[in-house]
């Protein structure tokens, strides 16, 4: 199985990659919602959070550690930021390759809007 993000991981599609190692890749979102908006993805295709297994615990945890490292490098760690993983339709997931959004650089407001 391949995905848009797998092609970015392999360098087949251009992206502004800010970090890469054997298990994860991080690159700037093409349509940023804040001054810092970076996507952190496992190099192997895991479609959604629902597809994680015990064998993925290391890579899932590594995504968090890499997010913290990038936040520090971006200079947004002190002020704070948000990590978001959308899952399936209600979560608003569009790309079915697990990814964590690292969003910051401005006050982000309410986490989830309440229905009117």
Q: Which residues bind ligand 5GP (CB under 6 A)?
A: 4, 15, 27, 29-31, 39, 86, 92-95
Contact present, 27 and 38 (Cβ < 8 Å): yes
DSSP designation for 82: E
Of 57, 69, 53, nearest in space to 21 by CA: 69
Alpha-carbon span 15 to 108, nearest angstrom: 25
Smallest gap, in angstroms, from Cβ of residue 62 to ligand 5GP? 19
Task: Pick between residue 30 and residue 72 the one whose CB is nearest to ligand 5GP.
Answer: 30
DSSP assigned state of 44? S
By beta-carbon proximity to ligand 5GP, the closer residue of 80 and 91 is 91
Q: Is 97 in the active site?
A: no
**Exactly one of 37, 97, 99, 101 is catalytic; which is it?**
99
Q: How many CB atoms lie within 10 A of CB 9?
A: 23
Smallest gap from residue 114 Cβ to ligand 5GP (A):
20
Catalytically active residues, by annotation:
99
């Amino acid at each position: 199985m391949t995905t848009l993000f797998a092609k970015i991981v392999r360098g087949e599609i251009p992206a502004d990659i800010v970090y890469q190692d054997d298990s994860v890749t991080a690159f700037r979102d093409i349509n940023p919602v804040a001054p810092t908006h970076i996507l952190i993805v496992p190099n192997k295709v895991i479609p959604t959070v629902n597809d994680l297994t015990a064998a993925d615990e290391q890579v899932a945890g590594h995504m968090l550690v890499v997010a913290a490292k990038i936040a520090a490098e971006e200079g947004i760690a002190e002020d704070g930021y948000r990590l978001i993983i959308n899952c399936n339709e209600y979560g608003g997931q569009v790309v079915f390759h697990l990814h964590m959004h690292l969003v910051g650089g401005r006050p982000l407001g309410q986490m989830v809007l309440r229905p009117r």
